[in-house]
Structure 1
Amino acid sequence: MTKPLTVGVDGSDASLRALDWAVDEAARLELPLRILHASLWDRYVRPAPKLAAVRPGQPAADEAVVDAARERAARLGPGVPLTAQDVADDPFGALLRAAPEAYALVVGNRGRGELTDMLLGSVGLTVAGQASCPVVVVRGGDANVAGRFGRVTLGVGGPDDAADAVRFAFRTAAARGVRVEALHAWRSPDGDGDAGGGQAAAERVLDDALRDARRDSPGVAVHASTTEAKARTPLLAASASSDLLVVGARRRDGAVGLHLGPVNHALLHHADCPVAVVPRTG
């Protein structure tokens, strides 16, 4: 059975952007779409309801959000098989429990007050840090969300977190008919004068990470580059002209609370395009 692309909605502007993005992506990937609304959402985020015509928190409001989301998705993607569901759960639990049965989870970026456009809220950050499937946080400018730049940027880290992210990036690029920009950042140890050796090692890491995907997806154009820098710097710069930024999940095993590393945190908070965090499955 084909796993659906699952999108969380709550009636807010951010979730509407996520829903629209998910409809388009499901159509490109030929996946069913699952729309998920958690009826306890309001307890956590209290969005201003854009879909519901009644006061949030009541059953009628929850039903209105789901119905309007279903109608919107059907209108935008008439060929996409879809289901819509309201569950009596908090947003974290609803999305995390849906993850094993999802191709990916899609959520809007969420902040509070005047920083809404800059900061990721607790729902997206928690889900990205703990979900067992890829998580896409839809953020960035209209051109980025609409996919007008013709490239998927792939951040290649170490070998332990690269393979699943590489496959995800190449499948996305193939479905969109765009190129993959693969970036690997490396740092020389303090006082190490062998910059040439570091560059050569970085190129080997990148070549090894991309080898299988290049063989399996010969129709996808790839531009690979390495740079000596903190990883967040070139990735954030690249996000300004990318349709999607894909990275592996650098989770901190055994950590209390959130399980993402600092690079993923920086990208989820500040990237100028949607960000896909892809956990290692092997």
Structure 2
Amino acid sequence: MSGPVVVGVDGSASSLAAAELAAREARMRGVGLRVVHAFIWPGMHAPPGPSPLGPVGGELRKLAERTVAEAVGRARTVAPEVEVAHAVIGGEPLSVLEVQSRTAALVVVGSRGLGTFGALLLGSTAVHLTAHGRCPLMVVRDRPNPSGPVLLGVDGSPAGEAAVDFAFAEASLRGADLVALHAWSTWTERAYSGPGDPPTVLYDVDRLRDEAERVLAEALSGRQMKYPDVTAHRRLLHARTRPALIKASEDAQLLVVGARGHGGFAGLLLGSVSQAVLHHAHCPVTVVRPGVT
């Protein structure tokens, strides 16, 4: 998608960092940046009578406009050549960002914030946005390693294809290497002699390793021809997916994962893997849904 990069801001330090990162992303893509603040006053259920916060056009809106102005200033400092638009939009942040994602190339948010944005990664809001947004979602985490690779979590599912495409494109834009990581564990395969037998677990380690190698090879097949400028490294680990990705993210400048999958990523949106990556990765995390790149 050739639309702008959209960043949601709320005045928090995390959202200001998101504005800077979004400006860099817009510059790399050669597109504009749109800084958006969800002005939630219209959604507030206030009792009749005057409010100490003032009318919609009063102090509360002025505060929202100052929030946006600060984020715009940070973005222009980082990427002065990028055209920056901004808007204060009435509505809940989730709804506002979902609408914005329909015409965006990428939506960027901070991992910590104020008000409703503060809960963005802490429950149904994050799940809804990653599940229903119309473009990839990038979440700002700790300071990334600017010279590190783009880290791609590979699970081999058809739904993960979009994440693979996004990761290669991002590595090409950044002039970075790509590390495709696939973690496999012996606990995933079980064999039973009969329905009445006790659940004794048998491991065929060689078979599991061969299958993991096949998954990784097929995920990268064809992409290296499309992106000859990207040096891709395959990383196969006999480990649990969650700690493997978190550890590998220490040296990465970006972690890319799919929004749906199987195997180690079975619970990416709802389970422990997603929570661990979004809360504990050491670099920004991008979640990519099928069909949105």
TM interval, shorter chain, is: 0.7 to 0.9
One-letter code of the match for 1:76?
Answer: V
Note the alpha carbon deviations across 1:126-167, whole angstroms, 9 max, x for none: 423432311111011x3x1xx423211000113222211011
Note the alpha carbon deviations across 1:87-107, whole angstroms, 9 max, x for none: 001111101111121111100
The one of 62, 71, 74 equivalent to 2:64 is: 62
The one of 266, 288, 291 equivalent to 1:278 is: 288
Q: Structure 1 CA distance, aligned partners of 2:127 and 2:112?
A: 9
8 Å Cα contact 2:42-2:91 kept in structure 1:
no
Normalising by structure 2, we get a TM-score of 0.80
8 Å Cα contact 2:19-2:72 kept in structure 1:
no
8 Å Cα contact 1:107-1:124 kept in structure 2:
no
Note the alpha carbon deviations across 1:6-53, whole angstroms, 9 max, x for none: 100111111001111111121122221111110118989xxxxxxxxx
One-letter code of the match for 1:127?
Answer: L
Secondary structure (helix, strand or coil) at the match of 2:222 reads: helix
Q: Which residue of 2 aligns with 1:53?
A: none
Q: Quick check: 1:199 aligned with 2:217?
A: no
Report the Cα offset of residue 125 of structure 1: 5.3
Q: Quick check: 1:265 aligned with 2:263?
A: no
Q: Which residue of 1 aligns with 2:157?
A: 159
Pairwise mapping of residues 111-190 of structure 1 onto structure 2 (< 5 A)?
A: 120-121=121-122, 123-124=125-126, 126-140=128-142, 142=143, 144=144, 147-188=145-186, 189-190=189-190
Query: Cα–Cα, structure 1 residues 179 and 241, in superposed 2: closer, same or farther, change >3 Å?
Result: same
One-letter code of the match for 1:267?
Answer: V
The more displaced of 81-90 and 185-194 is 185-194
Note the alpha carbon deviations across 1:202-247, whole angstroms, 9 max, x for none: 1111111111211100110111022222211210110111111000
Report the Cα offset of residue 76 of structure 1: 2.1
Q: Quick check: 1:235 aligned with 2:245?
A: yes
Query: Cα–Cα, structure 1 residues 17 and 125, in superposed 2: closer, same or farther, change >3 Å?
Result: farther
Q: Quick check: 1:32 aligned with 2:32?
A: yes
Q: Which residue of 1 aligns with 2:50?
A: none
Q: Which residue of 2 aligns with 1:90?
A: 92
8 Å Cα contact 1:42-1:57 kept in structure 2:
no
8 Å Cα contact 1:38-1:91 kept in structure 2:
yes
One-letter code of the match for 2:141?
Answer: R
Whose radius of gyration is greater, 1 or 2?
Answer: 2
Q: Which residue of 2 aligns with 1:50?
A: none
Q: Structure 1 CA distance, aligned partners of 2:218 and 2:260?
A: 19
Report 1 or 2 for greater relative contact order, CA contacts < 8 Å, sequence distance ≥ 6.
Answer: 2
**How large is the Cα RMSD of the aligned pairs?**
2.7
- Identical residues among aligned pairs (%): 38
One-letter code of the match for 1:12?
Answer: S
8 Å Cα contact 2:12-2:113 kept in structure 1:
no
Q: Which residue of 1 aligns with 2:265?
A: none
Q: Aligned pair count?
A: 257
Normalising by structure 1, we get a TM-score of 0.83
Unaligned runs of 5+ in 2: 45-57, 191-200, 263-267
Q: Structure 1 CA distance, aligned partners of 2:171 and 2:256?
A: 11
Q: Quick check: 1:100 aligned with 2:102?
A: yes
Q: Structure 1 CA distance, aligned partners of 2:41 and 2:136?
A: 21
One-letter code of the match for 1:136?
Answer: M
Unaligned runs of 5+ in 1: 45-55, 253-257
